[in-house]
Structure 1
Amino acid sequence: MTDFLISRRGLASWVAAILLAACGSAPPGPATSTGASPAPVASVAPAKARPRLLVFLVVDGLPQRQVLAYRDQLAPDGFARFLDHGAWFAEAHYGHAFTVTAAGHATMLTGASPDRTGIIGNDWRDPASGTPVYNTGDTTAHYIGNPTVPFDGTSPRNLKVESVGDVLRRADPRSKVIAISGKDRGAILPAGKSGVAYMYMTHSGQFASTTYYMQQHPAWVTQFNARKPADRYFHTEWKALLPEAAYANSIPDNQPWFGTRGGLPLPMAGGPDAAPGPAFYRSLLPSPFADALALEFARAAIAGEGLGRDDSPDILVLSLSGHDYVNHAWSAESRMSHDHFLQLDRLLQSFFHDLDAGVGAGNYVAVLTADHGFMPAPEVAAANGEPAGRLNQAQMVTRLNAGLEKRFGEGKWLLGVSASSLLLDKRLIAQKKLDADAVAQELRTLALALPGIGSAYTRSELLSGSRAGAPFFEASRRSWHPDVSGEVQYTLKPFWMFGTSTATHGSPHEYDNHVPLMFWGPAWMRAGRVDTPVDMVDVAPTLAGMLGVAAPVASEGKPLPIPVP
């Protein structure tokens, strides 16, 4: 498979009329109910040309192949709203190689790949010390009303670029940007520097923000949490939506190779506990119920913040995390995943009905996409005749370090894996007076000799572009940041994975980089399928155009060829 190549024409003439907003030296502070708004620094496009509300939906871990596989089982107005009445792109791909949650969520609304955003993975290692870094970690901020532990995500401090929401709020401080997710990174990164993020708390079943955004929650959040909506699922079951025969093409439940044993009906973990606790609240994530809660919280946010009520456009980001948890546990080919997708379809239909009634069908644009796709489980790939396998990361590091010791002498030359790169001990290299590039080249050679490693490139190659045109070089370059990443960037061969979960993602292959990208808003676009290949960095400049502001400064994309009325 070759790297994904961008090939498309520009947007229609209305984008050319966008008024460019000036870029300030820093984004405004978070848009909260308790903080002051920043001063405007630029004019905006006429209000009538813009939607009052942009609803940006992300289904975590949804590959494009699943959307079309179940099209005949969809409700009339969930995913089908986009497929039958919206504009959708059949060939939308991420251009970076390490397709994981944080990297995708950082790209969508910044228009920038990880080589610009600095969000090279869900976690990585500090290049100097080798200590772990979490993508949204920030020890200066903590959750409001909920405990905060190490590696919790609390702010966007590691995001190096601005988002569409940052540009919008700088142009019009009355605009609000609210992001909601079952995961901290699913809310914090799309919210940018000046939006507000709310995350599902597995300790309490609440939704909470952090002290980066505000010191206390607005009243509507407090009232929502006081109702304890998660508790209604205590000791309930996730039951299949359709008769057994409807899942004939999916892998049956309770496969021996499932990382987490399970089938439908699936009881929500309550055990003998007399009251809901953290184990129960965590059990809601790999189910339809956490997504139902996120949609319910989104309804409360629309009402509580008055989203879409005036001529200053607002952005609501809703990242639904359940599908990713389901696919990790049972794979995208399972009946569990099939049913979860259908359950989500019905939840979206109800949400759209409420949006139409509350905001007005002619007042908002809805977008639906995913942060990454999902690989088939190696056992499924192997059964289909594909070479497939699993790698143990700790064993890989030990083997690579042994190879480096054989060449350069005793020492812990490799500090470890950092996102999708290998981090060398630069102090040891300097101590031994060795050429850093020579050590990296040897590490690259050793890595390519391992089973499952498909490509590997050194820091000097990525900086110089000297291997341009080599397999996955461009995708690897777009996943590598010189200030954050290690000395050798690698990719896996098709159908290989790290870890012991049933299936995962994080490769440059079609199953991981091909995602749905669908728009609905009859006032702004015509319905229809678009087969032009597009890159996910194109989303941000397209949305900025709809909102009448400039694209984020670091955006590398181009406006999508959306069919206009």
Structure 2
Amino acid sequence: MALSRRNLALRVVASLAAVLVSGCSQLAPAEGLAPAKPKLMVLLVVDGLPMRQITQVRDQLASDGFARFLDRGQWFSEAHYGHGHTVTAAGHAVMLTGAYPQRTGIISNEWRDLKTGEQVYCTQDPAHTYIDSPTPRLAGTSPRNLKVETLGDVLRRLDPEAKVIGISGKDRGAILPAGHKGTAYMYMAETGRFASSTYYMAQHPAWVTAFNAGKPADAFFKKTWAPLLPEAAYARSVPDGQTWQVATGNGNRLPAVVGDQMDAPGPRFYGNLLASPFGDELTLAFARAAIEAERLGQRGHTDILSVSLSSHDYVNHAMGPESRLSHDHLLHLDRHLQRFFEYLDRTIGRDAYVMALTADHGFADTPEWAQSQGRQAGRLAAGPALASVNAALLQRFGVPKLARDFSASGLLLDDASIASRGLPRADVERLAKEELLKLPGVLAVFDEQQMRSGDADKTPYLAAMRKSWDPERAPGLQYVMQPGWFLSSRPGGSTHGSPHVYDTHVPLLFWGRGISALGARPERVEIADLAPTLAGLLALPAPAQAQGRNLQLR
């Protein structure tokens, strides 16, 4: 039946109104309604970056690298890890699970099996191998040792079409954030390629094969790492060439030529590449290739991309965070991030994604530098320390090597030997604890009874060490070094792994869709809060074992 002019006019008006309402709803959500979910969530991890390093060079940052978070996002000036043994694997496991090592089971990068004493690597899985790359013993090939789910696992359980991809220069930096249902790609330091493992797929997709075929790592052969700024800009940092700065790999002075005195790219060059700004540049290039080929954030599903940038950790281990090399590396990284953000803006849309940036741990200053500044600091060599404890146990009980080894942040006793000889285990543990406390630099030792207790003991560091302790994997005796001290067999460089503020205080920065530009927030928070907070932004439930809270960024 033909429409009257009046009815036709009413329908046209109604249609125009619907179009206008629909258009407005895409621009801004109606009051009281939740904003649309972001198309892509990007987690950026800078391995081994203390928060103090960012604030110390804030005046030298580019306009849209770290500054995007600091000036136009939200960031927490007092974000800390809550667990005591602050190392790469433990931190990466906390980020997207929201759970401490006591629940994740990732107590360290490696540890000793409590019964056999055999070494266990955090992401090892003999059932799987790298694709198109050699697989060394104890290589990281799957998340089998991770006991809990990640935010990506939650996302893919609710939306199997969503994609979760983890990328890193280190296997643990890719595998642990990717979780059980994601896909991990890691840099192969022997070949300069990126690879996944048979846990995730039988063979690489064509885009990975093509990326590796282009040999992008080789483009950095003989490339010079030169200071980004004039010499005067580094007056706040310790000059190059100090005796405690490890001069292996790329040396300990800038400018440095990566691949110097080598005839062609090879395993040594590919390994050295990671300890330079070019390692991060290569990792971000692979991340861009993943975004394009997998169409992350461009398919009508919310995806998660985790990119862990490993190079800063290598630089800090060799040179210390106080060094000019570390200072300059951070500035190069800042510029790499700015270019990556520009790419995301073009590809995903500036208002269509969210980003979070954090680190897996902080760093201690090198002991020699700290001593030169009048601070107490030092190195306790692991071998002599173990021998000293065993000598005391031998004298008292007549049995050699009752202390097997240091494992994660603890001392592993030989329980089989103790039991077979009928020794009173409590007495062995008590003497071992006493001897540990006699060693230079040891601040506290907690025994198994203290670790198992669920009380609210206010003993300093005990709560943090409990959060690091999984009784199925960690020794009962847990130690804490004095500030500025660490247990190490290295003659130079620096490290991390303590519950002290220089190791726990890391960046926690946010920017993107649905995040208010409030700038700095001073309340103390923990990195365990990251997963529940991101879950809130993605309108997802937090991972089941999460111990953190939603920080409410809207």
Preserved contact between residue 461 and residue 467 of structure 1 (Cα < 8 Å): no
Q: RMSD in angstroms over aligned alpha carbons?
A: 1.3
Query: Which deviates more, 477-486 or 492-501?
Result: 492-501
Within the candidate set 311, 328, 334, 2:323 is matched to 334
Structure 2 unaligned spans of 5+:
1-32
Cα distance in structure 1, aligned partners of 2:531 and 2:431: 39
Within the candidate set 496, 521, 524, 1:533 is matched to 524
Within the candidate set 452, 458, 463, 2:447 is matched to 458
Q: Which residue of 2 aligns with 1:41?
A: none
Q: Which residue of 1 aligns with 2:400?
A: 411
Q: What letter is aligned with 2:292?
A: A
Deviation, 1:436, is: 2.3
Query: Which deviates more, 254-263 or 139-148?
Result: 254-263
Q: What letter is aligned with 2:153?
A: D
Cα distance in structure 2, aligned partners of 1:561 and 1:309: 26
Within the candidate set 241, 254, 269, 1:264 is matched to 254
Q: Which residue of 2 aligns with 1:110?
A: 97
Deviation, 1:444, is: 1.3
Structure 1 residues 466 and 441: CA distance shift in structure 2, 3 A: farther
Q: Which residue of 2 aligns with 1:374?
A: 363
Deviation, 1:466, is: 5.8
Cα distance in structure 2, aligned partners of 1:467 and 1:520: 36
Q: Which residue of 2 aligns with 1:169?
A: 156
Aligned 1:434-449 pairs, distance under 5 A: 434-449=423-438
Secondary structure at the aligned position of 2:329 is classed as: helix
Cα distance in structure 2, aligned partners of 1:524 and 1:340: 29
Preserved contact between residue 451 and residue 476 of structure 2 (Cα < 8 Å): no
1:194 matched to 2:181? The reply is yes
Q: What letter is aligned with 1:72?
A: D
Q: Which residue of 2 aligns with 1:205?
A: 192
Deviation, 1:550, is: 1.2
Q: Which residue of 2 aligns with 1:473?
A: 462
Preserved contact between residue 444 and residue 480 of structure 2 (Cα < 8 Å): yes
Preserved contact between residue 538 and residue 557 of structure 1 (Cα < 8 Å): yes
Q: Which residue of 1 aligns with 2:203?
A: 216
Secondary structure at the aligned position of 2:444 is classed as: strand
Cα distance in structure 1, aligned partners of 2:293 and 2:34: 22
Q: Which residue of 1 aligns with 2:26?
A: none
1:310 matched to 2:299? The reply is yes
Q: Which residue of 2 aligns with 1:295?
A: 284
Deviation, 1:262, is: 1.2
Within the candidate set 491, 510, 514, 2:501 is matched to 510
Cα distance in structure 2, aligned partners of 1:109 and 1:263: 37
Secondary structure at the aligned position of 1:515 is classed as: coil
Deviation, 1:385, is: 1.2
Cα distance in structure 2, aligned partners of 1:326 and 1:130: 31
Aligned 1:38-437 pairs, distance under 5 A: 49-260=36-247, 261-273=251-263, 275-437=264-426
Preserved contact between residue 353 and residue 513 of structure 2 (Cα < 8 Å): no
Preserved contact between residue 47 and residue 312 of structure 1 (Cα < 8 Å): no
Which deviations, in whole Å up to 9, do the C-alpha atoms of 1:240-282 show, x marking residues without a partner?
A: 1111111011111111121224111111125242x31111111
Which deviations, in whole Å up to 9, do the C-alpha atoms of 1:182-207 show, x marking residues without a partner?
A: 00010011111111000011111111
Preserved contact between residue 403 and residue 412 of structure 2 (Cα < 8 Å): yes
Q: Which residue of 2 aligns with 1:490?
A: 479
Deviation, 1:526, is: 2.8
Secondary structure at the aligned position of 1:454 is classed as: strand
Secondary structure at the aligned position of 2:510 is classed as: strand
Query: Which deviates more, 486-495 or 403-412?
Result: 403-412
Which deviations, in whole Å up to 9, do the C-alpha atoms of 1:7-59 show, x marking residues without a partner?
A: xxxxxxxxxxxxxxxxxxxxxxxxxxxxxxxxxxxxxxx99531110000000
Q: What letter is aligned with 1:256?
A: T
Preserved contact between residue 284 and residue 340 of structure 2 (Cα < 8 Å): yes
Q: What letter is aligned with 2:68?
A: R
Deviation, 1:407, is: 2.1
Aligned pair count?
517
Q: Which residue of 2 aligns with 1:20?
A: none
Cα distance in structure 2, aligned partners of 1:468 and 1:428: 32
Preserved contact between residue 119 and residue 159 of structure 1 (Cα < 8 Å): yes
Cα distance in structure 2, aligned partners of 1:487 and 1:366: 39
TM-score (norm 2): 0.91
Deviation, 1:467, is: 8.0
Q: What letter is aligned with 1:154?
A: T
Deviation, 1:522, is: 4.5
Deviation, 1:296, is: 0.4
Preserved contact between residue 437 and residue 460 of structure 1 (Cα < 8 Å): no
Cα distance in structure 1, aligned partners of 2:60 and 2:190: 35
Structure 1 residues 467 and 308: CA distance shift in structure 2, 3 A: closer
Query: Which deviates more, 287-296 or 545-554?
Result: 545-554
Preserved contact between residue 514 and residue 537 of structure 2 (Cα < 8 Å): no
Preserved contact between residue 352 and residue 513 of structure 2 (Cα < 8 Å): no
Cα distance in structure 2, aligned partners of 1:57 and 1:474: 28
Secondary structure at the aligned position of 2:137 is classed as: coil
Cα distance in structure 2, aligned partners of 1:326 and 1:183: 14
TM-score (norm 1): 0.90
Query: Which deviates more, 302-311 or 433-442?
Result: 433-442
Moved over 6 A (4+): none
Q: Which residue of 2 aligns with 1:35?
A: none
Deviation, 1:134, is: 0.6
Q: What letter is aligned with 1:384?
A: Q
1:543 matched to 2:534? The reply is yes
Specify the structure having the higher radius of gyration (Cα). 2
